Structure 1
């Protein structure tokens, strides 16, 4: 009987491990974008990008030294067919940042990728070497995804602010009301 109990424990352990591996695999799609559980620790910058500390980002002037891009989702918001956003609640961001809600999802809703791509081309004047600081919140994979996406699109000077607007606020720097980019 003791042998059967031990086999049951081993089988249960193997099954739990297999289920854990399966759950982990579904966190990312085949291209490497995080597609679920976006609020979780992120341990590295996406390949081809660099991480910037909040204090270093604070020394930059938005739209002068670098383009600041916020990809925090707009909780409860709706984007209508014309591309206009109806927000359920206000959003505060780093002053001077350009807000592209939902552009950090692993799988983008219809129209979001085109809107984000056109906006980035406009804001950078199609310069792929323009310095871009991309952020969301602390422990948020959406900014990681957006940085990876920009790199895939050929942008070469991407800086990932892992601490996001939370890290900015932690430095006692002000946040300002933001509206989604047109």
Structure 2
């Protein structure tokens, strides 16, 4: 990257706005997952908060792919551990850990089964896939949905952050889909 491009990226990061275009990769994206995302996703419609609110009002299924915090290994015996609460868009299905670059068989099944349930088995039904702003996990999961044959995929790259900015504190505590 030349110095001018590097400076633009730095200014964009400092200002909170993406000045440089992020190319759509050919593969699923790995770490860091919290980074500027592309403006496109082949095979999906990219939506903003205004469109997300419209789709939500129409009863379209929303799928949150934010990762679940697991109990830390090595806690002393008797330690009480409480899983942190995850806030999401009302009525969203939380298909946790389904946006990583590589999925385990269980994560792949959770995504496949969750999308099937969310769309009532109709691969043409609209479904909104999201995470947080600038989160590659939602891009990965939406890309996987397209690869699975879903044609009504709506990718909401602004996720819960943009939703909350648009509507205030209209987020609810998520209940993770069973493993």
Same fold, TM-score > 0.5, yes or no: yes
Match of 1:65 among 45, 56, 59: 59
Contact 1:135 1:165 in 2 (8 A): yes
1:97 maps to 92
1:133 maps to 128
How far, CA to CA, are the matches of 1:180 and 1:72 in structure 2? 10
Count of aligned pairs between the two proteins: 146
If the length of structure 1 is used for normalisation, what is the TM-score?
Answer: 0.74
Match of 2:36 among 31, 38, 41: 41
1:169 maps to 164
| TM-superposed deviation, 1:77 | 5.0
RMSD: 2.2
Unaligned runs of 5+ in 1: 1-12, 14-29, 79-85
Structure 1 residues 56-95: Cα deviation after superposition (integer angstroms, max 9, x where no partner): 1112236x531100001113358xxxxxxx9620001000
Unaligned runs of 5+ in 2: 3-24, 73-80
Alignment of 1:70-149 (within 5 A): 70-76=64-70, 88-149=83-144
Cα gap change, 1:56/1:87 in structure 2, threshold over 3 Å: closer, same or farther?
farther
Cα gap change, 1:158/1:87 in structure 2, threshold over 3 Å: closer, same or farther?
farther
Match of 1:179 among 172, 175, 178: 175
Contact 1:76 1:87 in 2 (8 A): no
If the length of structure 2 is used for normalisation, what is the TM-score?
Answer: 0.75
Moved beyond 3 Å, runs of 4+: none
How far, CA to CA, are the matches of 1:111 and 1:168 in structure 2? 29
Contact 1:74 1:87 in 2 (8 A): no
Secondary structure class of the residue paired with 1:61: helix
